[in-house]
């Protein structure tokens, strides 16, 4: 599949611009340094829906990654296989005006504006790639994939990082939502230090703001957690086998 740029209509451009303008003002005081830097490097602007070809050239030059066009949510195996080969799955469709605030499944604004800037950070993409290799190994084991999805959810989608003593956002699920951007950094939800076992024991919500977030101190910390993630999943899967 590829992005067919000429298929975008006036509403698509308006939606991109509206979402971009609404969120860009929140980012300087909320987004992590890596996301802000990546946003600059990828040359995203309000007036133009990004061309994947241009974005791919930039990403490939910086970290060796590219975007792979997918129709929407893809099966686990496809998802993990793409990312283990340095391809980030991204949709090319945009939400409609009437869906500006909430979507059932991620659209291009989420996939591109929120995820892509982080793909310029080497430690972060190394983490993504290794996490995906674990996913490939356990594909078909629903319990293992659920544990792994919690790690993905509370880092890649809803992760916070501490920078210069302040909480900042790197998770794309938060960064594509103006409402959750404010909420996640407020004192309303619980904030925990990044902890592999605790995250794997924590279910998440898809239909409302999270009530807890986990904080890393660096992207290197994420990458270095891979051996522990492998170990804990192996232990849990083994335990589950013996229970049954």
- Burial call 138-154: b when 16+ CB within 10 Å, e when fewer: bbeeeebbebbebbbbb
* Residue 176 is a catalytic residue: yes
Kindly name the residue from 130, 157, 180, 184 that is annotated as catalytic: 157
Q: Is 193 labeled as catalytic in the residue annotation? A: no
Catalytic-labelled residue, pool 84, 132, 176, 177: 176
Indicate which residue of 32, 35, 84, 115 is catalytic. 115
Residue from 84, 110, 180, 184 carrying the catalytic annotation: 110
Known catalytic residue at 115: yes
157 among known catalytic residues: yes
Q: Which residues are catalytic?
A: 110, 115, 157, 176
């Amino acid at each position: 599949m590829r992005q067919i740029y000429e298929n975008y209509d006036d509403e698509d451009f308006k939606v991109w611009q509206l979402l971009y303008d609404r969120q860009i003002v929140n980012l300087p005081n909320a987004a992590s340094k890596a996301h802000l830097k990546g946003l600059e490097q990828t040359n995203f602007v309000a007036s133009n829906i990004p061309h994947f070809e241009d974005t791919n050239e930039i990403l490939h030059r910086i970290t060796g990654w590219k975007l792979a066009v997918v129709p929407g949510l893809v099966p686990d195996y496809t998802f993990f296989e793409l990312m283990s080969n340095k391809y980030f799955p991204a949709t090319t469709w945009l939400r409609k005006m009437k869906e500006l605030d909430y979507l059932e499944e991620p659209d291009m604004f989420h996939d591109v504006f929120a995820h892509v800037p982080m793909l310029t950070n080497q430690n972060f993409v190394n983490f993504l790639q290794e996490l995906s290799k674990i996913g490939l190994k356990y594909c078909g084991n629903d319990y293992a994939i659920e544990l792994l999805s919690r790690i993905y959810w509370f880092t890649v989608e809803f992760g916070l990082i501490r920078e210069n003593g302040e909480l900042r956002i790197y998770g794309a699920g938060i960064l594509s939502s103006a409402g959750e951007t404010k909420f996640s950094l407020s004192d309303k939800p619980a904030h925990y230090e990044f902890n592999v076992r605790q995250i794997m024991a924590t279910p998440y919500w898809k239909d409302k703001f999270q009530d807890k977030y986990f904080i890393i101190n660096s992207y290197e910390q994420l990458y270095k957690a891979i051996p522990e993630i492998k170990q804990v999943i192996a232990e849990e899967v083994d335990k589950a086998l013996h229970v049954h």
